[in-house]
Amino acid sequence: QNVVVCLFSCTQKDTMKSGLIALFAVLAILGAAVALPAKSDKFDFMLMVQSWPQSTCLLNTDKECAIPAGVDGFVIHGSWPSNNDTSYPSFCNKDSPTYKFNEDDIKDIEDELVKKWPNLFVQEGKTSFWKHEWEKHGDCAVEYVPRMTNEHDYFAVTMEVTSKYDLLAVLERAGVSPSPSKTYNTSDFVNAIVSGLGVKPVTSCARTGQYVYLEQIGLCFDNDLVLIHCDSRVIGDASCRVDDVITFPPKK
């Protein structure tokens, strides 16, 4: 497979970083995004990113990729403390046993996580993705997001918030639907979100061979988890280019 570009703090357990060179490389190609040292200052916003699972599987043919039964829309990739200059804090409490991932803490919401925040790569196990997201990003979020005080709340609140914004429904109302043949421009996705939700999103595309696939859509929230416009610097570094001809693959 040819080179693919990924946006954001990418990972389904950092192995995604190499999958397409990687569908989910480093948190960035959001420009020159550079991870900040542990215990950074307060971040500017929360970036909640949802992936289009059909693209994930199409772009990772070297992996066993499975979309959970009943999943018809976008799935959560991550909930990331972020800065408008495209930097981001990570592993803020990596030396503290208190912030190590504990599956027991999320047992009561695990069935929901499997559907809304799944690890699509079967061989990695369902919890490896959650462990990565919590220890890299969640332990930073709990320092400044009032509703996210612990591991359980980080996952539960992210699912609650993202569930309010059905991205597929918003896109389809604007005439942007998954299709085996129809293609779109970046502006089609952006304008649909602006029209439906009233805010500017961040879009991520992945390239392989002659195709450009819609990979992810990110929504920005303040630290009280109120939906806001994504900063122009963040949007400007998005990996969906203005002139891209984008495939939005349907469910098989």
Which of the pair, 32 or 183, is modelled with greater confidence?
A: 183
The whole-number pLDDT of residue 31 equals 36
CA of 197: how far to CAs of 78, 121, 192, 227, in Å?
A: 20, 31, 8, 9
| pLDDT mean over 70-75 | 94
User: Is 152 marked active-site?
Assistant: no
Is residue 72 within 8 Å of residue 119, measured between CB atoms? no
Cβ pair 30, 86 in contact under 8 A: yes
Which range has the worst mean pLDDT, 20-34, 180-194, 197-211?
Answer: 20-34
Spatial separation of the C-alpha atoms in residues 159 and 151, rounded to whole Å: 13
What confidence tier does 238 reach under pLDDT thresholds 50, 70, 90? confident
Strands 246-247 and 211-221: parallel
pLDDT band at residue 25 using 50, 70 and 90 as cut-offs? very low
Residue 161, both tokens? 């918030």
The residue among 145, 38, 57, 134 whose CA lies nearest residue 95 is 38
Bridge partner residues of 184 (DSSP): 246
Q: What pLDDT does residue 28 have?
A: 36
pLDDT of residue 58 exceeding 50: yes
Judge whether residue 5 has pLDDT over 50: no
Catalytic, out of 132, 133, 135, 151: 133
Active site annotation includes 229: no
- Place 37 in a pLDDT band, splitting at 50, 70 and 90: very low
Is residue 251 over pLDDT 60? yes
26 band by pLDDT with thresholds 50, 70 and 90: very low
Radius of gyration of the chain, Cα coordinates, nearest whole angstrom: 17
Q: Which residues pair with 35 in a beta bridge?
A: 88
Q: State the Cα angle at 134 between 233 and 231, rounded to 5°.
A: 10
Q: What is the DSSP letter of 227?
A: E
Eight-state DSSP code of residue 51: E
Let me know the angle formed at the C-alpha of 29 by 115 and 203, rounded to the nearest 5 degrees.
Answer: 50
pLDDT at 124: 93
127-151 pLDDT per residue, tens:
999 999 999 999 999 999 999 999 9
Stretch 79-106: mean pLDDT: 94
- Identity of the amino acid at 225: L
In tens, the pLDDT along 155-185 reads 999 999 999 999 999 999 999 999 999 999 9
pLDDT at 240 over 60: yes
Tokens linked to 11? 């990972």
Catalytic residue among 110, 112, 132, 137: 137
| Full 3-state SS string of 123-140 | HHCHHHHHHHHHHHHHHH
b/e sequence 72-111, b meaning 16+ C-beta within 10 Å: ebbbbbbbbbbbebbbbbbbbbeeeeebebeeeebeeeee
Residue 132 annotated to the active site: no
Mean pLDDT along residues 90-115 = 95
What was the pLDDT predicted at 239? 87
Per-residue model confidence (pLDDT) at position 237:
74
pTM: 0.83
pLDDT band with cut points at 50, 70 and 90 for residue 236 = confident
Tell me if 248 sits within 8 A of 184, measured CB to CB. Answer: yes
pLDDT at 22 > cutoff 70: no
Q: What number of other Cβ atoms are within 10 A of residue 28's Cβ?
A: 20
- In the chain, the N- to C-terminal Cα span, in Å, equals 21
Mean pLDDT estimate for the chain: 86
